[in-house]
Amino acid sequence: MRLQFTLLLACFVTLAGPIAGAGSPGTIDELRQRFTVGGESVPPNVFRDMGDGDLADSGSIIVTIDVRAATGSNLYADPIKRNGAWVAQRRASPGDKGLTEEEAYRYIGMTANKLLVVITSYSGGGSGVFYSLHLLTAEPARAFDGEGKPYERLNLTTIRSVALGDRWNGDVRIDGNAVVVTTTGGIPAGQARKPSTMTIEAERP
């Protein structure tokens, strides 16, 4: 009887697969708490691809990236540097090798309803540095790897982006399920920006 129970339990564990995030590198809790995967910073250029670098379109076209696959990948292999709370990544501009693109972010934290809040900046190599506020979900998802083996993705999805403007300066804080953005300066179109505060509800669609 005990042998039958042991075999039944072993079959259940095999069919169920590994428990999400249990002891695996780069868990969903790590991503939500520290915005890292296996101790490595999420590559800033994922935000370039999720809309920051596409200034010609009004909305993001790529909205979800598997940050477990992205972290340490060849696609996002450009050097990552920290400057205080900011994490930045540079590369030569594909359109003009004489210019240098830079994408950077500052992770603010997680709201009460588990949405992630990130401030980003993007420069295409000119004088403009464009800031955005991103509200994101971070969720595990089951898939298969290249060998057909079960694989757990860490999907980062942007559900709302708010343009803060060129050379924005200010502060962002989380208050429960609200994000409070205080603008203290900036130079949009050559004009000094007046100090202001706005509150954004961090809600799921």
The ranges assigned to domains in the chain are: 18-167
Task: Give the tokens for residue 204.
Answer: 């799921």
Question: What pLDDT shows up at residue 185?
Answer: 73
Task: Read off the pLDDT band of 152 (50, 70, 90).
Answer: very high
Q: Are 53 and 124 in contact (CB under 8 A)?
A: yes
Q: Phi first, then psi: what are they for 176, rounded to 5°?
A: 70, -110
Question: What pLDDT shows up at residue 26?
Answer: 65
pLDDT, tens digit, 9 for 90 and up, residues 34-69: 999 999 999 999 999 999 999 888 789 999 999 999
pLDDT at 136 over 60: yes
Task: Read off the pLDDT band of 191 (50, 70, 90).
Answer: low
